[in-house]
Amino acid sequence: MAAPDEDSNKKFEWGGGFLSIYGNHYRGSDQGKLWIFPIPYFTYKSAKIEAEPSFVRGIFFHNEWFSFKLSLMLGLNVESKKNKAREGMPSLDYTVEAGPLFIFHIWKSQKKDLAINFEWPIRESFATDLSYIKPVGLFTVPYINFIHKPTSSVWHWSSEFSISPMFADQKFHQYFYGVDKQFARADRSFYHAHGGYSGFQTALVLNKRIDNFVIIPFVRWDYLKNAVFENSPLVKVKHYFIGGLGLFWLFN
């Protein structure tokens, strides 16, 4: 049974809405796609758990300068029949990423409306089409996160802006960028991927609540120059862009 002070800090909100996302099929693809999902919206915060539609974090340890959490993330699918570079190859399924998240609280303003964290997730990625699930490798994005809480000076928008190098193991890069011999052809040579540097990422997420209405625009840009898979025939461009908008109505 939870202590009274833990119960008093619990907060749960739920609702529904739509999430629209547009971006390249995968990092390195020169083709794009629009995804539109009806999606439930929820937030839950307590002394042990943080949850939103884009992530779930179990809080194992927290103090003024360090937090240790469990992090879960979701990734989108790519149908190879709709991508010229991957034509005839297996499709890329939805992915689920899970692993520890280490957060170092570097700085916080006196008013606690501004903060800078160093956040280091290390996640194992699993591919699934809902009929099976298989591990596809390890991925990590150690990032500096600039956090601004909603204040009147920014029209009550909250924001998080992050910058990070990315790294992944050989198995992860092989899943996305490897070309096995049976799929090689004149314009797509055999390619065996290696583990290591996976590019540079920047991301911005905004959030604004108006009564029971929540608006969440976001954008992410990756630069793949010097990534270890740069020479894969599946890499057509060195830039990756994805952006979207979530619109939700809360029922409580």
pTM, full prediction: 0.86
In tens, the pLDDT along 154-207 reads: 888 999 999 999 999 999 999 999 999 999 999 999 999 999 999 999 999 999
What is the DSSP secondary-structure string of 93-115? PEEEEEEEEEEEEEEE-TTSSEE
For residue 63, is pLDDT > 90?
no
pLDDT of residue 1: 34
pLDDT of residue 30: 97
pLDDT of residue 70: 81
In tens, the pLDDT along 92-151 reads: 999 999 999 999 999 999 988 999 999 999 999 999 988 899 999 999 999 999 999 988
pLDDT of residue 7: 46
- Quick one: pLDDT band at residue 61, thresholds 50, 70, 90? low
Bigger pLDDT: 57 vs 196? 196
CA torsion 180-178-99-122 (nearest 10°) is: 150
Mean pLDDT of the chain: 89
- Quick one: pLDDT band at residue 47, thresholds 50, 70, 90? low
- Quick one: pLDDT band at residue 3, thresholds 50, 70, 90? very low
Ranges of beta strands (E only) in the chain are: 11-24, 32-45, 49-52, 55-62, 66-75, 94-108, 114-128, 133-140, 143-148, 158-168, 196-210, 213-223, 239-250
Q: Which domains does the chain have, with CATH numbers?
A: 14-250 (2.40.160)
pLDDT of residue 18: 93
pLDDT of residue 237: 98
pLDDT of residue 8: 47
H or E element at residue 9: helix 4-9
- Quick one: pLDDT band at residue 49, thresholds 50, 70, 90? low
For residue 4, is pLDDT > 60?
no
